[in-house]
């Protein structure tokens, strides 16, 4: 007889959600995490869309350590001296508060606590040595030389899934699988945040940027408002950064902070946290087999993250994958069957959700988000168009079509090539 019905490795969004679901259904669950408290090593965070969390924690909005609800979404293109912003603000977001900024150092311990309250045994500060495997079946984990057994083991250990990789359940990461995120938490008074971002009633802003002033590097940026801090950072493809070979990641975030449209927003703020982490961006190409005899892989470890340049998704994918893995484990327990065939229901469940549907719909999206023209050319094109149409220089005005033609020509963008590029993006976004 196994020590537990289920062992969950990793108390992030995926692992804790799975533990909450399974424990609430009566399973004997062990949830372990290498950090103490859970989340202490988790730097990722941003906007949590809580529709899926509501499935297991209906009162999450009143109980969770949330920062600000998002009613203002911005997308910006930055050149060295200019910024072009798409600014969307709607009362609909305010009437349907489901998107909130969160700080993972606060949110993750709360979610793990909810797993404990549901009945799971939560043990932080444990670094699992390896998976316990017998007769080609995962039977638990090995910790400090001791084997702890379970009918099923859920691997939610993050993007650099060491246990799964060492056990041969997932191939090692490639540079093309991930991006490097560099992030700072900048302390600023609530009053200054609300004044600078025109906020009230605990509302917040989520801004993403394409940084078109960093040479050959394809860098995105983000800036989110919290209650008394800002989450600011940059994201760069690891492959792109390694090929460049001369630019350090910490230089990128400093150049972003010094941009004339960003510097006034963070002026006077104090950096309270700084760090970097890998972000899964390989989509279906990096997704391992999600299940096997006695195990399932979920969250970032499975590559469940998405960005199309307009939205960044990760935490909600993790939560939903955790719930579906939990459902699968509960059903397997009823059948007393934790074989590969039995646990294949996990992928079947995910196929009916937006998690795998999104990854399939946008399977070629990196050909857009990693297109150098998106960073080196289009921001400059927008800047040129705005200057031609809005800057009064005592010269005759041009029709819009002539402005577009001349600006594209100045950037060596032929009409056919430009149309082809836009169509290419249109097909994939």
pLDDT at 428: 59
The predicted model scores a pTM of 0.92
Mean confidence (pLDDT) of the chain? 91
Phi, psi of 411 (to 5 degrees): -100, 15
Span 316-364, pLDDT tens digits: 999 999 999 999 999 999 999 999 999 999 999 999 999 999 999 888 7
Sole residue written with tokens 């798409």: 86
pLDDT at 389: 82
Span 224-279, pLDDT tens digits: 999 999 999 999 999 998 888 777 888 999 999 999 999 999 999 999 989 898 99
Helix, strand, coil % in the chain, rounded to nearest 5: 40, 30, 35
**Closest CA relative to residue 53, chosen from 4, 105, 142, 115:** 115
Span 40-96, pLDDT tens digits: 777 766 899 999 999 999 999 999 999 999 999 999 999 999 999 999 998 898 888
- Domains of the chain listed by start with CATH number: 4-65+103-173+286-363 (3.50.50.60), 177-280 (3.30.9.90), 377-428 (no CATH)
pLDDT at 193: 98
Instruction: Say whether the peptide bond before residue 64 is cis (omega within 30 degrees of 0).
Output: no
- Residue ranges in 198-314 assigned as alpha helix (H): 238-244, 249-257, 263-266
CB 188 within 8 A of CB 229: yes
How far apart, in whole angstroms, are the C-alpha atoms of residue 360 and residue 369? 16
pLDDT at 388: 79
């Amino acid at each position: 007889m196994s020590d537990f019905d289920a062992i969950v490795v990793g108390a992030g969004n995926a692992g804790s959600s799975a533990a909450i679901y399974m424990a609430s259904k009566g399973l004997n669950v062990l949830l372990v995490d290498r950090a103490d408290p859970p989340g202490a090593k988790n730097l990722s965070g941003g906007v949590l869309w809580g529709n899926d969390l509501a499935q297991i924690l209906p009162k999450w909005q009143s109980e969770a350590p949330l920062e600000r609800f998002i009613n203002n979404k911005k997308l910006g293109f930055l050149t060295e001296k200019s910024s072009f912003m798409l600014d969307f603000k709607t009362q609909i977001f305010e009437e349907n508060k489901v998107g909130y900024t969160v700080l993972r150092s606060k949110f993750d311990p709360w979610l793990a606590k909810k797993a404990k309250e549901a009945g799971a045994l939560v043990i932080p500060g444990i670094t699992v040595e390896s998976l316990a495997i017998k007769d080609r079946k995962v039977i638990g984990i090995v910790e400090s030389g001791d084997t702890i057994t379970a009918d099923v083991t859920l691997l939610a250990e993050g993007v650099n899934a060491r246990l799964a990789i060492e056990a041969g359940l997932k191939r090692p990461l490639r540079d093309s699988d991930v991006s490097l995120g560099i992030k700072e938490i900048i302390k600023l008074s609530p009053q200054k945040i609300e004044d600078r971002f025109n906020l009230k009633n605990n509302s917040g802003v989520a801004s993403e940027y394409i940084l078109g002033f960093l040479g050959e590097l394809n860098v995105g940026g983000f800036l989110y408002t919290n209650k008394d801090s800002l989450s600011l950072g940059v994201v760069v493809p690891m492959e792109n950064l390694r090929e460049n070979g001369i630019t350090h990641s910490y230089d990128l975030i400093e150049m972003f902070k010094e941009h004339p449209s960003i510097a006034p927003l963070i002026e006077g703020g104090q950096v309270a946290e700084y760090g970097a982490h890998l972000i899964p961006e390989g989509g279906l190409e990096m997704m391992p087999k999600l299940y096997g005899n006695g195990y399932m892989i979920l969250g970032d470890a499975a590559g469940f993250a998405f960005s199309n340049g307009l939205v960044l998704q990760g935490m909600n994918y993790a939560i939903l994958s955790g719930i579906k893995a939990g459902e699968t484990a509960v059903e397997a327990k009823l059948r007393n069957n934790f074989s590969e065939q039995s646990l294949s229901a996990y992928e079947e469940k995910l196929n009916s959700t937006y998690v795998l549907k999104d990854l399939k719909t946008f399977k070629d999206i990196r050909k857009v988000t990693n297109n150098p023209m998106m960073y080196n050319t289009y921001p400059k094109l927008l800047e040129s168009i705005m200057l031609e149409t809005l800057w009064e220089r005592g010269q005759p005005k041009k029709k819009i079509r002539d402005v577009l033609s001349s600006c594209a020509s100045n950037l060596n963008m032929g009409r056919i090539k430009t149309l082809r590029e836009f169509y290419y993006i249109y097909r994939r976004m």
